[in-house]
Structure 1
Amino acid sequence: MTRLRPLGLAAAAVLAVAALTAGCAGPGTEPDPTALPGPAQSSGQSSARPSGGSPSPSDPAPPSPSPSASPSVRPPEPGPTTEPGPTEQPAAPGDPDLSLVAGWTLEEKVGQVVMVGLPVKGPFQPTFDMIRDDHIGGVFLHGRTQAGRQPVKNLVDAAVDAAAQERQPLFVATDQEGGAVQVLRGQGFSDIPSAVEQAGLDPADLRARSRTWGQELAAAGVNLNLAPVMDLVPQASAQANPPIGVFGRNYGFTAESVVAHGNAFAMGQRDAGVQTSIKHFPGLGRVTANTDTTAGVTDTVTGPDAPSVDVFDAGIAAGSGLVMMSSAVYTRIDPDAPAVFSPRAVGLVRDLGFDGVIISDDLSAAVQVTGVPAGQRAVRAVDAGVDLVLASAKPSVAPAMVDALLAAAREDPAFAAKVDAAAARVVAAKAGL
C-alpha cells in the first residue's frame, strides 16, 4: 500500500483561519487554540499511558505476529505481546472479516476505532502525539481555514508522517458539505453552495461538480468527507430545526430530492476517490435543538419505518461506506438512550443491510452527551455497535476514551469481540486508500 510522505511540514504552522466554526450536527462554538511552533516538532516526551500491545482477553492462545503485517510496522516494544487472530474461516455475508486484524494488539485495534480532531489552527502536536502513542487510525480536520490547499496538505502530511509506522493508512476526514459547513477554503478549494442550493441543480450536474470538489479534497490529502447530510427536513418547520434546516444543510424538503441530490453529491465525491459518510441516522430533521449545544434533544416523531429512515436506506444502497449516528433521543425507537448509545437505533442501520462503518457524531464536546464521562461515551457507543468514535471538537478527551475502551475490552471478552469487529470494519473501509 503506497503511503504518502510529508512535504514542507513547517508551513502547516502558519495556517490562516477564518473566525467561523462548526461541528457535524451543526455550527457550534470553538475555543481559541494555543498554537505550537510547528506541526513537525516533537514534544520529546512519551505519553504517560503505556504504549505497545497486550493480549485481548478473548484470545487465550499464545500470541503470534500477523503474517500479513507490513514491513513498516513498528517493532513490538519490550514486554507486551501481539495477540493471535481468530481461527481462519470465511466471514459470513455482512459480518466483518476478522482476519484483517489477526495478530494485532488490542491497542492497535482500539486505535482504529477512534478518530481524533486535528484543529486546523492548532495546536497540532497533541494530536500527532496521540497518533503515535495510541495508534490512532483517523484524524478529523476541525475548525475553519481560508489558507488554501498547500498549507492544508502540509498539515495532513505531518499527520500521515506521525502514523507512518502503523499497519494501516490514516483516515483524514473533514466536513466539506458547503454553505455554512465548509472547513477548507482558499486557493485550491471551491466555494461550495449549501445543500439547499445544490438541490436546485440537475443531479448529473451536481455529481460532476461534486467530483471536482472531491478532487480538491484528494489533492490536499483528505480521503473522507463526513457528508452528505441526508436528514429529511419538513419545509414548514425548517427554520425551527437548528442543526439542519436553519443552515440549509438539507437537500431540499422531500425524500425524492434528498435521495437524488444527496446521492449525487456522494457519488461525485467517491468518483474523486474520497469516501463519504451519510448523516445523521435516523435523521435530525424533526428536532428543535442542536445536540452540539443543547442537552435533552429528543425526536418524538421518527420511528423505525419513518420516511427519513428510507432516505438513509437509499443512501446505503447507493454505496456510502460510512453512516453517522445522531446523538438525539428517538422515543419511538429507544426512549432510554441517545441513538449513538442505543443498540436498537444502531441495529436499525444493520437491518438496512449496511455492513460498512458506523461512525458516531462528535462525542468529545457535544452537550447532548457531556453528562456521560468521556471514556464511557466511547464505551457505550462501541457497545451499541458503533465502529468509529469521533472526538473532533475537543480532542483532549480522546486519551480517556482510548483508556476506557482498553479497560472495557480487557475486562469483558464480549466487548473485546465488538472492538475486533469494529476495527475490522474500519480496516476494510480503508482498502481503497
Structure 2
Amino acid sequence: MPSLARATTLLLLAALTLTGCTPSPAVSPSASASPSVSPTPTPTPTPTPTPDPLAGMSLEDKVGQMFMVGTSVEGVDPTTLAAVADDHVGGVFLHGRSDAGAEATAGLVGQFTGAVAPGRPELWVATDQEGGTVQVLSGPGFDAIPSAVEQGQRADGDLRASAAAWGRQLAQAGVNMNLAPVADVVTSPDTAQSNPPIGQLAREYGYDGATVAAKAGAFAAGMRDGGVLPTLKHFPGLGHVDDNTDYSMSVTDDVVTPDGADVGVYSAVLPQGPAIVMLSTAIYTLIDPRSPAAFSPAVVSVLRDTVGFDGVVTCDDLSAADQVEGFSPGDRATRAVEAGIDLLLVSADPSVYPEMRDAVRSRAQADPAFAEKVDAAVTRILAQKASMP
C-alpha cells in the first residue's frame, strides 16, 4: 500500500514542522567530528631598540668624560672645577694628604658634584685609600688603614669586612671610586726593598699570585660592599722593577709575561665583580719593548684578549710622572687613547689638562678611526657609571 505509506509520511512531517522539531539530516561519522581550527599566528614582537648612550653628546662632552682631573685635598683647584662645570669631565681625583676628616672631605667633594649640571653623567670622585703609607684621607670619620702587607695577614672574610667599613667611610664623604687595591706581585720579602714603588712601601698583599689574588679580591669585594668602585693596579705589574715611574725615567720590567702569575692575578679577580683596571707606565720588554704600557696597544690587548676584561681601563698619572716626561702632554693623551685607554688620569698636575683635552678633541675631529676609539671608551665609561648603585 504505497499510497497509504506516503500519506502517513507526509502527515508525520507536517506534525514535526508544526512543533519546530525538524529532523536533522543524517551525517556520516567523519562529518560529525569538530572542524579543525587553524591557530591564529602570533605576531613577532618588534624588538625594543637599545638606547644609544652617546645620543645627543657632543664631541666635547665625549672627550670630557674620558678625563679624571686632580685637585688637592686642601682645596678646590680652579682648573679642575672648570673642567667639571664646563667640560663635563668624567671624574676628579683627590691627591695629597688630609687629616681633616670625613665632614671636611664631603664639603670639598660637594663643590665639584654641585657643579655637575642636571642630566649629566655621574661624576666619579676618586682617591688613593690603600692603607699604610698610601692613605690620602684620614682624621675623624676615617679609620687608620693598615698596609697591604698587614692586610694580607688577615683571613679573606675579615679583610673583606674591614674593606667594606673603609668603603662606607669613603662613600659617606662623597668618594665613589678608590684607586686600590694594589695587585702587584713582589717576588719575596727579601726582594721587597729593591722594589721602590711597591715593596719598599709595603704595598704588596703577598709574594705569589694566588695570595695576591685572594687578598686583593677580598679588598675589592669589600669596597663594592661599601658602595665604592675598586681599581686594580698596576697592570701588568710593578712588583719586579727597580725604579719608581713617578720619579724615574725609562723604568723597565724584564720579568712580566702575558701568561705569567702577574697577569694571572687579574684573570682571577676581575670576574668577581665590577672594577676598573689601571695600567702602569713602565715598559715591559717581554710584551712591548718600545712603549710604556699606557701607550702600548700590545699591553692593552693582553688585558682585553688574554684576561678577557671588557670594562673601563685607566692609567697611572699622565700629568707629572717622570716616566712620561719625554712626551708632550698632548702626545701623552693621544697615545694613551690610541693604545686603548678609556679614562685618562691627570692627577698630580691639573694645569696640563687643557692641552691634553684639546689634543684628543682635535685628533678625533681629524681622524675617524681615532673618533671611534673615543666613542668606544665613552660607551664603556657611561655603562659603568649607569651600573653603579
Q: Does 1:262 align with 2:216?
A: yes
Counterparts of residues 131-146 of structure 1 (less than 5 Å): 131-146=84-99
Conservation of the 8 A alpha-carbon contact between 1:322 and 1:358 = yes
Secondary structure of residue in 2 paired with 1:264 = helix
Q: Which residue of 2 aligns with 1:126?
A: 79
1:332-343 paired onto structure 2 within 5 Å: 332-343=286-297
1:246 matched residue in structure 2: 200
Q: Which amino acid aligns with 2:322?
A: V
Residue number in structure 2 paired with 1:219: 172
Kept after mapping to 1: 8 A contact 2:76/2:108 = no
Gaps of 5+ in 1: 1-87, 91-97
Cα RMSD of the aligned pairs, angstroms, is 1.3
* Distance in 2 between residues matched to 1:399 and 1:159, nearest whole Å: 18
1:399 aligned partner: 354
Who is 1:53 aligned against? none
For residue 320 of structure 1, report the CA deviation from its aligned partner.
3.9
Deviations 1:273-320 (A, max 9, x none): 100110000000010000000000000111111110001111212224
- Cα distance in 1 for partners of 2:255, 2:378 equals 33
The equivalent residue for 1:60 is: none
Q: CA deviation at 1:155?
A: 0.6
Structure 1 residue 103, shift from structure 2 partner: 2.1
Counterpart contact for 1:359–1:388, Cα < 8 Å: yes
1:202 aligns with 2:155: yes
Q: Displacement, 1:419?
A: 0.4
Shift of 1:183: 0.4
- State the Cα distance separating 1:250 from its structure 2 match: 0.6
Larger Rg: 2
Is 2:281–2:293's contact at 8 Å kept on the other side of the alignment? Answer: yes
- Partner of 1:335, secondary structure, is strand
AA partner of residue 359 (structure 1)? T
1:290 matched residue in structure 2: 244
Q: Is the 8 A contact 1:101 1:424 kept in 2?
A: yes
Letter paired with 1:266: A
1:136 Cα deviation after fit: 1.0
Q: Aligned residue for 2:266?
A: 312
SS of the aligned residue for 1:216 comes to helix
Deviations 1:95-130 (A, max 9, x none): xxx821122100000000000001111353221112
| Equivalent position to 2:364, from 396, 406, 409 | 409
Aligned AA for 1:120?
A: V
Q: Residue 426 of structure 1: which of 371, 381, 385 is its match?
A: 381
Give TM-score, length-normalised by structure 1.
Answer: 0.77
Q: Distance in 2 between matches of 1:164 and 1:141?
A: 21
Residue 388 of structure 1: aligned partner: 343
CA–CA separation in structure 1 for the residues paired with 2:269 and 2:324: 27
1:213 Cα shift? 0.3
Superposed displacement of residue 327, structure 1? 0.4
Report the equivalent of 1:191.
144
CA-CA distance at 1:165 after TM superposition: 4.1
Residue from 162, 170, 192 that aligns with 2:115:
162
Contact 1:329 1:337 in 2 (8 A): yes
User: Which residue of 2 is the match for residue 112 of structure 1?
Assistant: 65
- Higher RCO (Cα < 8 Å, 6 or more apart): 1
Q: Percent identity?
A: 53
User: What is the distance in 2 between the residues matched to 1:180 and 1:162?
Assistant: 32
* SS of the residue 1:337 aligns to: strand
Distance 1:165 1:334 in 2: 43
2:331 & 2:346 partners in 1: Cα distance?
13
SS of the counterpart of 1:99? coil
Q: What displacement does 1:239 show?
A: 0.6
For residues 140-159 of structure 1, the C-alpha deviation after alignment (integer angstroms, 9 at most, x for no partner) is 01111000001100010110
Q: Secondary structure in 2 aligned to 1:215?
A: helix
**Equivalents in 2 of 1:331, 1:159: separation in Å?**
40
TM-score, normalization: structure 2? Answer: 0.85
Local SS of the residue matching 1:185: coil
Distance (whole Å) between structure 1 residues aligned to residue 355 and residue 283 of structure 2: 24
Find out whether 1:361 has 2:316 as its counterpart.
yes
State the alpha-carbon separation in 2 of the partners of residues 405 and 262 from structure 1. Answer: 33
Does the CA contact (< 8 Å) of 1:281 and 1:323 recur in 2?
A: yes
Runs of 4+ in 1 over 6 A off after TM superposition: none
- Give the secondary-structure state (helix, strand or coil) at the position aligned to 2:70: strand
Is the contact made by 1:279 and 1:326 (CA closer than 8 Å) also made in structure 2? yes
Moved more, 160-169 or 138-147: 160-169
